[in-house]
Structure 1
């Protein structure tokens, strides 16, 4: 099956007719449909299929037990109303690259696998890269069992309802020991390649990043009868903190975003008692990130005090700077440049990925495919057909260079 036919087959799964974006959340019906699609792709190619203890899907060419395997893939879930390319481009391109290599008559000397990591986006339970974090031992089973979605459904309940065993989750060092290299292809979430005019690039590092929850606590009261002077309105503190985040990020050359909010009691005619906002912040280095988040929290506490509100700040997740394995990165760049003589762009990114999570356990690398607008996590996310095909060929070249020598 060609890249185009695979892409067309997957495209409607989990797509909202209202927004045009995707709602492929972990352990939901749309997620199950994506998993069926993955299993069918593996079967159609005669690949060995398995699901690991954390719900990640694997399709193997060759004997996994042989070790030193070359693995590629990404994820199939989405953020709320996300785009079509973030995650799925890497999975579809992996199957297409394998088809390309078979068409070339490539002789594999190492096992090759394609993986779909579960719950990468964290859209349902609030923590990104759950599947790869569990596998790498970066998330304990106990902490995973405490994850809850907006409806109060726990991760174990969701997994069990989807037909998986939540009691089995946890670190998987035996599986990781089989892998010699992991290469993830992903649409670029930015415009660096568009600005350089290149279809494909190689990742150098992932910026340190995290998510913080800000709970502003005030006093619920009637919106029509409570004097302004008598109010303890946490929404004001929250709003001023959003503006402070923008100022701190601009000053430091970083990014800081309040993109999710929860309000109680959430009535049009009620002053809130609680405004809960989630901050996502990222920077090129740890010191800058610490300064940005520290500045935002300082401003938030000052605004809360001014409006008679309380404030709790909780760091819900954090990933330090990830430097991709230099030897693997340089080898990937060499493979891609050997026939053309061109220097392949090497660029950093502010987006987190499964490859970043696994980098502390195994050598990892990433390829980026040009995004002409730089828009991501949106229905407007895009990549040109020619660039997608170039990405497939580049991934095939890399897999051939790593697994066929």
Structure 2
């Protein structure tokens, strides 16, 4: 299945992926999901926010156990971030059926819309809308680099943008959510284990910094007469690194927009996006406050710390530990829990957990720790171990 997905949205010049939400690549990925659900005789549904659900059993009778992830990507991203979780969900269902297992509760596979936020700047749009965290009016007015709004692109894709918003009917079908994801770091490499369990997601957010000046001619404007916004922007980037080290957090300026963006003109406006994350909210907030002195600053997204429910987390750690301890052929036989580790990466599982849905995450080892890059990778054997671990977790929860 990963090989089938590998051709969709791939940039041949870089081998990276560009899979913006509601783009032609995204629509093709949605059709792939529909095809996999249909092959397995699952009940396919698309909710009012564009999230896809494939059900084994009827969740209207009782809330189900759901797994899955997303298929969109950051621009020039890798092949595993998101797709590994969706592919592993279908593969885990195949494993369960191969065992002759019949779930006592409905079992669902989810594909969330616009988890990365690459097109409109806000991550986890589908799950944020579903849970009511993101205001529909704000969402519809989000604009991409070409000036198209979310409302525009949804309408072009044949969806009604004015139906988006909190979806209690869909939310009520999710009794428990488990998301498998490639690890975006080297924690499992250091612990020598192919699969682990998430303990928490660090608090994180995105802020837009607007530095304003006066556009002018690069050759005729004296240095003393310039109002060049590139200077305070450059100071902010350097200060972000220094303050982040002091506060014990991480800070990244990965996107910049310069107006008018001419090589022979002093800019009139520099807009920069700061991504900041850390173990504590206080450290992240202190960093943003200190940097926001020479710019107009707008908070575009914020996710508080997510401490996954301990009883569910510990239950999964035991099941996964049993799987890893006895090889990838099945569960049982081990008594050492799988590694439990935090992450600084945001996920739909975190949004659902914050909304009160019992949620957990499994991580599959990434040998280099590189993510959001074409170099992102996971070994075949580790992916298979992840599938069987997920199957064992689902079997345990569906009992």
Per the normalisation by structure 1, the TM-score is: 0.94
What's 1:328 paired with?
312
The structure 1 residue matched to 2:300, chosen from 311, 316, 321, is: 316
Distance of 2:351 and 2:343 partners within structure 1: 14
What's 1:308 paired with?
none
Deviations 1:365-402 (A, max 9, x none): 00000111111111111111111111101100100100
Alignment of 1:185-204 (within 5 A): 185-204=180-199
C-alpha RMSD over aligned residues: 0.9
Distance of 1:248 and 1:185 partners within structure 2: 33
Alignment of 1:164-203 (within 5 A): 164-203=159-198
What's 1:205 paired with?
200
C-alpha deviation, 1:337, in angstroms: 2.6
Given the alignment of the two structures, is residue 155 of structure 1 paired with residue 150 of structure 2, yes or no?
yes
What's 2:341 paired with?
347
C-alpha deviation, 1:107, in angstroms: 2.2
C-alpha deviation, 1:28, in angstroms: 0.7
The structure 2 residue matched to 1:77, chosen from 62, 72, 76, is: 72
Classify the secondary structure of the residue corresponding to 1:293: helix
C-alpha deviation, 1:226, in angstroms: 1.3
Distance of 2:299 and 2:133 partners within structure 1: 16
Alignment of 1:297-316 (within 5 A): 297=292, 301=293, 304=294, 311-316=295-300
What's 2:82 paired with?
87
Distance of 1:185 and 1:12 partners within structure 2: 22
C-alpha deviation, 1:237, in angstroms: 0.9
Distance of 2:217 and 2:204 partners within structure 1: 39
Could you tell me whether the CA contact under 8 Å between 2:43 and 2:54 is conserved in 1? yes
Distance of 1:155 and 1:192 partners within structure 2: 36
Matched pairs, number: 388
Distance of 1:140 and 1:316 partners within structure 2: 12
Could you tell me whether the CA contact under 8 Å between 1:176 and 1:361 is conserved in 2? no
Alignment of 1:104-253 (within 5 A): 104-253=99-248
Q: Which runs of 5+ in 2 are unaligned?
A: 323-331
Per the normalisation by structure 2, the TM-score is: 0.96
Distance of 1:348 and 1:200 partners within structure 2: 14
